[in-house]
Every structure is written in C-alpha cells, then in structure tokens.
Amino acid sequence: MTPPERKYTPRTFRRNFRSGIRLAGEGWAAYGRPVREPTVGRALGAGFRAVAGETWLVVLGLCVALSRGLLALPGTAFVVAVSWLVAREALHRGGGLPGVVAAVAQAWSAPRFRSIAIGLWLGGLLLWGALRVAWVAGAAPLVAWRLSGASGPSPAFAEGAARRFHQVLPAAVVALLLDLLGKGMVLAAVLGVVAVGSRAQGSGSSGPAAFVAALGVAAAALLATSLSALGDVAVARAAMAGEDLLRSLKRGLGSFLSRPAAFLVVILAVWLGTVLASGSLQGVLGLLGSAARGGPRWLMVVPDAMLAVLGALLAAGAELWRLAAVGVLSLAPQEGREKRVMTFRSESLGIRPPSQ
C-alpha cells in the first residue's frame, strides 16, 4: 500500500489543485471550474488556509525554534564552567582582577578549549538544523494534503519526516548556500558603493556615480531575492512532491523563470505581512509593559517573554505559509497557457499572443 505522503506527487498535486478557490471536495465533480494557473492572490490564500487548517504544525515549529537555545546550552555551559574554574583558581593565588582576566584569556586561547567549545556549538547548530529539516519534511505532506482538497487519509507527520528527510536535506543545504550567496552579493554591492562614493566625493561625476551605485545595489538586492526564492522553490518541491535535488532544482528553476514576478511578489507579500503582524504585536505588548511598570518587577518579564514566544510562533507560521504559496505556484498546473512572444513588427513593440 502506498504511504499517504507519497500520493502527493506533482501529477496528483496538479490534478487536485484544479479546484480553484473551492479546494475541498470529494471526487472530480465537486471541484470548481478548472484554472490554467494560480494567481498570486490565490496562491497566498490557498497557502494561508492550508496552514490555518494545521495550526498544530505552527506550534511544533515554535518548539523547534525554541530548541535552538536549548541546543546551545552545552557549549555555553562548558565555556562558563571552565572560565569559572580558572577565575577561582586565579583568585586563590591572589592575582586580583588583572590576574583573573589574564588567566581566563589564556584558557580561552588554548587549542583544546577552542576545539571543544566550537565542536559543541557546531553540534548544537547542526542538530537544530536537522530538526528544522525534519519539521519541514513532516509538515509539507500535510500542507500538500490540505492544498489538494483534504481527500483521502491524512498523511502522518512522523512518516513524512522519515521518508522525506533525505530529499529535503540537500535542497535545504542548497537553499542556505543560495541565500548566503545573495547576502554576499548585497554586501559586495554596498562595499562597492562605499568605495565609489569615497572616490567620487568632491568631483563633478558624483551624480552619475550615485546613479550607477544605486542601480548596482538594486540589481544585487533583486538577484539576492531571486536566489532565495529559487531555494524556497527547491525545498517546496522536494518536501511536497518528493523530488530529488537535481529534479527539484531543474524544475524549480523552470517554474521560477516562467513566472519570476509572481514568486517574488509572493515572498515579499509574506514578508510584509509578517513585518506588519510583528509590529502590531510589539505595539500591543509594549502597551502591556508600560501598564505593568507600576507593579512588581517580575511583571516586566512577562511582555518580553510573550513577545519572544509569539514572535517565534509568527515566524514558524510565516515560513510554512511561504513554502505553501511557493509550492502552489511551482506545482499547480501550468499547461494550457498560451505562449507569448516578443515582436518588433507590432506598432506597440509589446508582447502579443502568436494567434493574433
């Protein structure tokens, strides 16, 4: 018997997603009017409804986000314990504060200390990354099940995490590398702007130099966002459709190049919604904090703790929403769309269908 999470292949996803806005239903007759490709609003709405139907996945993502601090405790505890022992020994010898600082600095410079501390930190970071990959691998089949109409048995989170982990992991690593490459390009563009501005200052070519610098930064930001979007598409295809790394990158690149503006608008819309929700949350909790100033001191900790927890919950929900919307754009049916060509024979020099 085929496991439930393996039933949501790209072909099944495309067939079931033809339902239009009416995603739920039993059988082909219950689906709405077929569509040729989803719009940006439809992808955002369908992704939001799919994540809202599985809110416990967002809570699980919150637990994964909070586990990052717990996994960093071994490295932090090691550094604190060694520093405390070295400082206490230096105080017993009567070295005073300068002796304590010198002893702690000497302990931190030891190769064994640095190797153990870096190893514990990297181990915690890698384990946290594996937990995030397992969370995405287990949550994506459930989200795809919601997007496909929630027909048939619901896939199990544990089974999806076990069967999709080896497919999502390389896609997530490539997505991380693409994101780092994009950020490096933006940083290089900013440094180039600083270098060009320092040379053009006081000369007569400051105007053209500023225009070229602004154009370079804008191009770098656009390319960085595109690389990040391509990584999200690869992760979404690997997690929802079970594609391997090469296939998810190849087909994801094809779907992204066919509608680059739609993918960028979806990612920017999710980011903007997250920023607005986070700002509203900070405002409300700021009012609660100002009202608690006249009470006990422990009440001041409550708004900060609530802000951290709700912020992590919002980030987990936004990540699932982004992957769901990107998956809709990438895996939904694209056939039947009339190809458009650029022609210079038209008086408007615009894009027109070949049938005209």
Q: What is the pLDDT of residues 187-214, one digit of tens each?
A: 988 888 888 777 766 666 667 777 778 8
Q: Decide if 342 is inside a domain.
A: no
Asked, for residue 104, whether it belongs to a domain, the answer is yes
Q: Band of the pLDDT at 26, cuts 50, 70, 90?
A: very low
* Residue 315 lies inside a defined structural domain of this protein: yes
- Domain range spanning residue 289? 37-332
Distance (Å, whole) CA 22 – CA 27: 13
Average pLDDT over residues 79-83: 90
3-state secondary structure of 43: helix
pLDDT at 275 over 70: yes
Average pLDDT, the chain: 77
User: Does 337 map to a domain?
Assistant: no
Please give the structure tokens belonging to residue 20. 């239009």
In a domain, 350, yes or no: no
In a domain, 14, yes or no: no
Count of beta carbons in the 10 Å neighbourhood of residue 132: 19
Domain total for the chain?
Answer: 1
Report yes or no on 7 lying in a domain.
no
pLDDT for 3 equals 53
Percent of the chain with pLDDT over 90: 18
Q: For residues 112-138, give the mean pLDDT.
A: 91
Closest to 225 measured CA to CA, from 172, 179, 184: 179
**pLDDT of 122:** 92
Q: Is 90 helix (H, G, I), strand (E, B) or coil?
A: helix
Residue 295's pLDDT band (boundaries 50, 70, 90)? low
Q: What is the SS3 assignment for 206?
A: helix
User: Which of 76-85, 277-286, 297-306 has the weakest average pLDDT?
Assistant: 297-306
Cβ(316)–Cβ(131) below 8 Å: no
Q: Give the predicted TM-score (pTM) of the model.
A: 0.74
- Over residues 58-71, the pLDDT tens digits come to 999 889 988 888 88
**Minimum mean pLDDT range among 201-210, 213-222, 276-285, 337-346:** 337-346
pLDDT at residue 95 in the model: 67
Q: 335, 340, 339: which is closest to 18 by C-alpha?
A: 335
Mean pLDDT (whole number) for 14-42: 45
Q: Is position 267 within any domain?
A: yes
Residue 46 has pLDDT above 90, yes or no: no
pLDDT: which is higher, 13 or 169? 169
Pairing of β 351-352 and β 341-342? antiparallel
